[in-house]
Amino acid sequence: MNQSTAITGFEAAAGNVADVHARNVPMQLDASLFEGVSINRSAAERRAGTLATRRTVKKQWQAAWLVQAIGCIDLTTLAGDDTADRVRRLCAKARHPLRDDLVAHLGLADAPPKVGAVCVYPTMVPHAVAALSNSGIPVASVATGFPSGLTPMDQRLAEIRYAVDHGASEIDIVITRGHVLGGNWAALHEEVALMREACGEAHLKAILGTGDLQTLTNVYRASMVCMMAGADVIKTSTGKEAVNATLPVSLTMVRAAREYYQATGFKIGFKPAGGLKAAKEAIAWLILMKEELGTEWTRPDLFRIGASSLLTDIERQIEHFVTGRYSAAFRHPMN
């Protein structure tokens, strides 16, 4: 994600600006960075299982963390029945994710929260760009034959260029899962490197489709190859696989990002997507980022959550913090 768009209003106002970090520069495939690595699933599951039992946030800390989570949401619609109006509604919510009275209670009226980005299909990009003008909220587009990625390469690259040309500043590409399953790392590297080239200034978010990759070792290796090929963000899922973002998979990916940072000095973002609906899940993933990578990785330039209904639950929880009463979804404007 590029810097100009990654910092949302409230963060700038709060002085909450992450250190500007250099954009990942693609490198040659170096198998030594992943070949010897084998991930132990039960160990990963135990760590994932205790992340949210070892850490928790309560009261104002919980409220603040939920505000932070809002800023990290890629508010998403990726459905066959998406229309221009539907996208405009989504964008309105993206600009104004939290009711004004709640924002005021939180003391954030001078810099109200906004979501991290809006994520749509390529043909919806123009509508989103128009609806978000002057908001500072970037438009992300899925591309490359989303969700399967099994269309001809030139078409996949053309799709990226189309979205970029129409104003998308982030491209959520999908990889060819078969390259991972077959251990064809060179092909994967080449594919993602070409996509990165096609992105130009736009940031590339590489969707691994972890539900299809099955093993955590595959997830780790695919993460590493995508980063070497120039991915700015690695992302778990399209939301269309049978299994979406899970904590053990996410743990494996952020550990790969940590390893890549240590090897190259480049900070890579992480985006879990699919199935994240509850505010407490957002907190769990923020804990994951803070514990495994550091506080810097809890901010929208390095952390996004792909979600659509999550925001509503966060709004309800924040209202509960403010009023002490349990809230209802219909009390919050829908997207």
Nearest in space to 162 (alpha carbons), one of 147, 178, 141, 181? 141
- State the DSSP code for 18: P
Using CB under 8 A as the binding rule, whether residue 64 contacts another protein is answered as yes
Element (H, E) at 195: helix 185-199
Distance CA 73, CA 305 (A): 5
Using CB under 8 A as the binding rule, whether residue 10 contacts another protein is answered as yes
User: In this complex, which beta carbon is closest to another protein, that of residue 95 or of residue 290?
Assistant: 290
Considering CB under 8 A, how many residues would be counted as binding another protein?
43
Using CB under 8 A as the binding rule, whether residue 67 contacts another protein is answered as yes
Tell me, yes or no, if 154 is annotated catalytic: no
User: In this complex, which beta carbon is closest to another protein, that of residue 58 or of residue 325?
Assistant: 58
User: In this complex, which beta carbon is closest to another protein, that of residue 149 or of residue 300?
Assistant: 300
Using CB under 8 A as the binding rule, whether residue 40 contacts another protein is answered as yes
Distant-in-sequence, close-in-space partners of 96: CB < 8 Å, separation ≥ 6: 112, 114, 333
Q: Which two tokens stand for residue 191?
A: 């594919």
Q: Is 239 exposed, middle or buried (0-12, 13-18, 19+ CB in 10 A)?
A: buried
Question: Residue 202 in contact with residue 166, Cβ under 8 Å?
Answer: no
CB of 41 to another protein, least distance (A): 3
User: In this complex, which beta carbon is closest to another protein, that of residue 40 or of residue 155?
Assistant: 40
User: In this complex, which beta carbon is closest to another protein, that of residue 127 or of residue 299?
Assistant: 299
Distant-in-sequence, close-in-space partners of 15: CB < 8 Å, separation ≥ 6: none
| Identified catalytic residue from 205, 271, 301, 313 | 271
Q: Which residues inside 200-239 make contact with another protein, applying CB under 8 A?
A: 214-215
Return the residue of 250, 298, 312, 317 that touches another protein, per CB under 8 A: 298
Q: By CB under 8 A, which span of 49-57, 75-83, 143-151, 167-175 interacts with another protein?
A: 49-57
Nearest in space to 316 (alpha carbons), one of 304, 300, 332, 297? 332
Question: DSSP letters along 259-319, please?
Answer: HHHHHHS---EEE-BSS---HHHHHHHHHHHHHHT-GGGGSTTTB-EEESSHHHHHHHHHH
Return the residue of 1, 7, 44, 226 that touches another protein, per CB under 8 A: 44
Q: Which residues inside 95-114 make contact with another protein, applying CB under 8 A?
A: 106-108
| Identified catalytic residue from 74, 114, 172, 267 | 172
Using CB under 8 A as the binding rule, whether residue 55 contacts another protein is answered as yes
Using CB under 8 A as the binding rule, whether residue 291 contacts another protein is answered as yes
Using CB under 8 A as the binding rule, whether residue 3 contacts another protein is answered as no
The letter for the amino acid at 321 is: F
CB of 58 to another protein, least distance (A): 5
Question: DSSP letters along 52-121, please?
Answer: HHH----HHHHHHHHHHHHHHEEEE---TT--HHHHHHHHHHHH--S-HHHHHHTT-TTS----SEEEE-
Distance CA 132, CA 139 (A): 8
Tell me, yes or no, if 280 is annotated catalytic: no
Q: Give, to the nearest 10 degrees, the angle between helix 247-264 and helix 279-292.
A: 30
Distance CA 219, CA 249 (A): 7
Q: By CB under 8 A, which span of 53-61, 76-84, 130-138, 164-172 interacts with another protein?
A: 53-61
CB of 16 to another protein, least distance (A): 5
| Identified catalytic residue from 93, 114, 235, 267 | 235
- State the DSSP code for 201: T
Q: By CB under 8 A, which span of 40-48, 133-141, 168-176, 181-189 interacts with another protein?
A: 40-48
Using CB under 8 A as the binding rule, whether residue 68 contacts another protein is answered as yes
Residues that bind another protein (CB under 8 A): 10-11, 14-16, 36-47, 50, 53-61, 63-65, 67-68, 106-108, 214-215, 255, 286, 290-291, 295, 298
Residues taking part in catalysis: 172, 235, 271
